[in-house]
Structure 1
Amino acid sequence: MSLDAPGGGTGSGFHGFDTPQIRTMASNMKTISPQSRTMHGELARLLMEVQGLMDGKPAVVSPSLQPLVGQVLPAFYHGLPGSLHQELDDTSASLGRRCDQLDTVQGLGLVGISVDPALDFSDEAPPDRTKIDNALEYFDDHIDDSGGFLWANSAQGAGEVYDDFAKLTPTELDAVMSQMSDDQLRKLNSQLGEGSSWWGGGDADGGVQQKWENMLLSECGPETLTRLQAQLTNLPWEPDPKTDSVKDARYEPVDLPLFAPDGSAPDVTADISMGRVGDCWFMASLAAVTEQDPDFPREHIRQNPNGTYTVTLYDKSGKPVEVTVDNKMPRNDDGLVYAEPSSNVLWPLIYEKALAQYKGGYGNIEGGFGDQSMDILTGQDAERHNPKDVSLADIDDRLSKGEAVTIGSNSKADKNDTRMVSDHEYTVRSVNMNSHPPTVEVMNPWGADGSKDHLVTLTEDQYRKLCDEVSFTPEVV
């Protein structure tokens, strides 16, 4: 069998998975999927008949089957088992692609081209050996390019090679990087250390370094990354974990799910718990945005096949910027030093690390205002106002429209109210215009285990006395 043919390899079809058996299963899925529609209609009619005999009692108590009662039009099937038609078709196609990938990866191994095992069963087009060979040749031809001028960007070659490598699939890229010799990696590292800046404090969409690191972290397998991280030392693979108050942090993995395994929406009152870095401005806004749109974190964090996470942030112009990080978090002998997984989910920690990477280190994310983090999170041009100019009725109106709102306490807040923290950003959760007087409930991003009240209810007079800024997105998040 040709290496370039779908499923190319030894012909045995067995390398950790029995791909002929998997292909047979996929074919069976495709064959039986139309039957789910017939089953759906028959079950709906049966439940309707039973419903008529039950004297008002429900025909079924299963949440997945209750919606069937009353479905009489075959063209408008909702839920199980009718939805299995598309799901089985999609799964069958995915299994076919994965088998093609697996067989072709094995074939590459037979000719000495290694691919990280973590990518063996990826759902993508099978790797093309010609593209791998051409990419390696392109590297040798262009990595030493400069501009021909003394003032030219000495990293031009790395930029040209990046543009070429960015066209590869993750498996092809992993194969190319695995094939590179130590000398080739030294040349790349030298280029990445010259004439190229990082994100520039988050003010731009980044230079050659950022592009290379993001691509490698999001696509290469763990074994390949271990070698690259040791060789490409001019890439800042992790944000600097040290701050003014934390000098002894080290990175260690936190093995937790990104979101709740049961699929439930993020609960910011349980999930948000900041640590020993002054990024309340960011964590409060992250909570405010998620309160208004619980799907927001899932839509802005992509879990990559290699186990890393790519977070979409936004630069000052509102342009999306992808930042890739892993699950290693700063800790010392006492435990995690920054955001904590108080409810055993990882997404707030991933967001915080992505911001630290974007800004060039955890020490660079200390101090800010709610509107600044809303800009970074949503790409909107958020607003900041004096509380004297924004009533609780105004805040209630903005919340009802789906806008995110935070408030910042002033320097004397804790002296005037022991529940509060001075110079601190809070998430605005709700306004009660029916209470006398009207009140606003705010959340401290320190979390439920913080030394101050987690949830605080303020009257309008207290809100204006204790706070010196209120920020909000100008549109629905």
Structure 2
Amino acid sequence: MGTFYGADVSALRQLGQRFKTSRETLSRLDATLSQNIEAARQWTGPDGRQFRADWSANHRKALAEARTLLGTAERAILRNADEQETASRGGSSGSGAAPPGNGTGYILSDRPDHSVPRCPVRGKPDLSEERLKELQDKIHAAADSDNFFKGNDSDVEDLRKALDGLTPAQLDQLLGTLSDDELKALGHGLASDGKGLFNWEGTTAFERQAVLDQLLAKASPEQMERVKAQISWAQPDGIAAGDAANPDGGPQTPKGWVTPQGPVISSSQSILDIRQGGYGDCVVMAGLGSLINQDPNWARDHVTDNGNGTVSVKLNDGGHERWVTVTKDVPADANGNPQGAKGNAGGTWPMYVEKALAQVYNEDDANDPVNPGAPDDKRYEPGNYRAIEGNYGTDAMKYLTDGNLSETHSSSDVWKAADAGRPVIIGTHGEAPPGAPDGYVAGHEFFVTGVDDSGKLVLQNPWGPHKEPLHITKEQYESMFGNAVITG
């Protein structure tokens, strides 16, 4: 009888499921306790206020940290199960991710990044000639945008489903059979108005991005570069007006692209990672600050480094979660630094939420403020960083959340949400009012981090942690700030 080396894959997966169940139990407990604490408004006075402040500032964060540890363990367990299963199938004691040059992909192990690739097991390039021909036909159909009556929208969805069923190694096998001209034609077809005469919606940004997601997230680095080079809209346009709220802000014209150093997801994430950069997307960055303040796991759950030079970001499309995959390079300024959001100790993840959002954002209304002397604003289609500048809190936040949003100017509603630890962003007036506190920025968005011991609302500027937070009273909020957007 031979000796068995390795782990019991079934037992590992069961253990991973138990960790997941425990993590979900903590999430439900967090939600239930938060609702009960918020409902106990009859407990007034300093003791009640202190209890609610302690809950938001300390106890909820402890629960979140416990969920983070459980989630990290769960992902490690499932990754080990995948690697053990792959090694067992291949008769190898390796990691399951084959080294470059053997036709199955690239190494994903031992990365400094703390996110988990969506496709850690590469598989084998084992598509039959018949299956390759079938997939090639689907690609050619999606690339054909000339059918006036039928359009190619159904072909695009058919191709997405077919690509979704491929392993990374199979996708690379398919891409290896396509010429650069065929990839270019596919990009043109995906970007066309693909629903024909009798359905005027057109192929949406999320629909075409869903196909690009499959091509980028699973491809080897070499094939990923081919896709990026041949599909012109695989990169958003980095030209933008800049941050109109910043006296030093001006038009943003990238001088190239740069791949930021450091992991996308580090060991822990927090509001310290929110550093806006040169784009005028304070609403987006404030929204991210409010979400990571409420749930330190948000970045881990929504952003992942695929290990092949791409990053996937989970956004929301009308109540449906959608992966949007972008390449790791971002627009660079004249000094070769990222032009938009900056990285910090928690990783470079805000850069990729910003980039993914630029690819699909479709709420630009041509009413954004611009700095004096800059060209007038106009509406920008998805695929432009300019589109995510300015705009309204509810418009941006519905891409980052499930869309359960409320807009209010009631100080009671805002303080109640802050006490409960719910994500809240608040805008300022177009001009600074008399008596505005130090740190007030006109025409800007802040995010709430809690309520202090004196009952004041604490606001953080998304320009970065170097900006001192504002502590404001209800009277200041009602006279100096605009509407708040509350999530949940």
- Shared fold (TM-score greater than 0.5)? yes
User: Helix, strand or coil: the match of 1:416?
Assistant: coil
Compared CA separation, residues 340 and 312, structure 1 to 2 (3 A): same
Structure 1 spans left out of the alignment, 5+ residues: 1-22, 35-83
State the match for 2:384 in structure 1: 361
CA-based RMSD of the aligned residues comes to 3.9
Deviations 1:429-451 (A, max 9, x none): 1124x52xx311110001134xx
CA distance in 1, matches of 2:124, 2:172: 10
Q: Does 1:399 align with 2:402?
A: no
Deviations 1:302-335, CA, capped at 9 Å, x for gaps: 33242422111112x3222221123212111232
In 1, Cα distance between equivalents of 2:159 and 2:178: 13
For 1:444, the equivalent position in structure 2 comes to 461
**Distance in 2 separating the partners of 1:91 and 1:182:** 37
Offset at residue 278 of structure 1 (A): 1.1
Secondary structure (helix, strand or coil) at the match of 1:384 reads: strand
- Based on CA coordinates, which of the two structures has the bigger radius of gyration? 1
**Does the Cα contact within 8 Å between 1:277 and 1:366 map onto a contact in 2?**
yes
Aligned to 1:163: 161
Matched position secondary structure for 1:413: coil
Tell me the residue number matched to 2:124. 127
Q: Quick one: distance in 1 between partners of 2:206 and 2:418? A: 38
Using CA pairs below 8 Å that are at least 6 residues apart, which structure has the higher relative contact order? 2
Aligned partners of 2:275 and 2:463 also within 8 Å: yes
Distance in 1 (alpha carbons) for counterparts of 2:443 and 2:315: 25
- The residue that corresponds to 1:301 in the other structure is 303
Q: Relative to structure 2, which stretch is displaced further, 90-99 or 394-403?
A: 90-99
SS of structure 2 residue aligned to 1:212:
helix
Deviation at 1:413, TM superposition (A): 2.4
Unmatched tracts of structure 2, length 5 or more: 13-72, 111-118, 196-200, 242-250, 362-382
Whether contact under 8 Å (1:275, 1:337) holds in the other structure is yes
**Corresponding residue of 1:222:** 221
SS in 2 for 1:236: helix
Write the mapping of 1:71-470 to structure 2, written as runs, cut at 5 A.
91=80, 94-98=83-87, 100=89, 114-118=103-107, 123-124=120-121, 126-127=123-124, 129=126, 131-145=127-141, 150-154=148-152, 159-182=157-180, 184-185=182-183, 187-189=185-187, 191-192=189-190, 194-196=192-194, 206=205, 209-230=208-229, 232-233=230-231, 235-244=232-241, 245-261=251-267, 264=268, 266-268=269-271, 270-315=272-317, 317-334=318-335, 335-343=337-345, 345-359=347-361, 360-386=383-409, 390-391=410-411, 393-413=412-432, 416-417=435-436, 418-432=438-452, 435=454, 438-449=455-466, 453-470=467-484
Distance 1:183 1:350, change over 3 A: closer
Q: 1:342 to 1:203 in 2, by over 3 A?
A: farther
Secondary structure, counterpart of 1:179 in structure 2: coil
SS at match of 1:470: strand
- Aligned amino acid, residue 259 of structure 1: I
Superposed CA deviations along residues 160-186 of structure 1, whole A, max 9, x for unmatched, are 444323221122111111232446445
Q: What is the one-letter code of the residue matched to 2:84?
A: L
| 1:301 Cα deviation from its structure 2 partner | 1.5
Report the alpha carbon displacement of residue 209 of structure 1 after superposing the two structures with TM.
3.1
1:260-303 deviation line (CA, Å, top 9, x unaligned): 33xx3x220x2111011111111111111111111111111233
CA displacement at 1:252 relative to structure 2: 0.9
TM-score scaled by length of structure 2: 0.67
Q: Distance in 2 between matches of 1:345 and 1:458?
A: 30
Q: Give 1:147 deviation, angstroms.
A: 9.7
> Quick one: distance in 2 between partners of 1:278 and 1:303?
26
Mean CA deviation greater in 248-257 or 303-312: 303-312
- Please, what TM-score do these two structures have when normalized by structure 1? 0.68
Change (3 A) 1:119 1:296: closer
Q: Would the alpha carbon gap of residues 170 and 403 (structure 1) be closer, same or farther in structure 2, given more than 3 Å must change?
A: same
Report the Cα distance in structure 2 between the residues aligned to 1:193 and 1:147, rounded to whole angstroms.
9
Distance in 2 separating the partners of 1:143 and 1:88: 37
2:169 partner letter: T
Counterpart amino acid of 1:283?
M
- In the alignment of these two chains, the number of paired residues is 377
Q: Find 2:5's aligned residue among 21, 24, 27.
A: 27
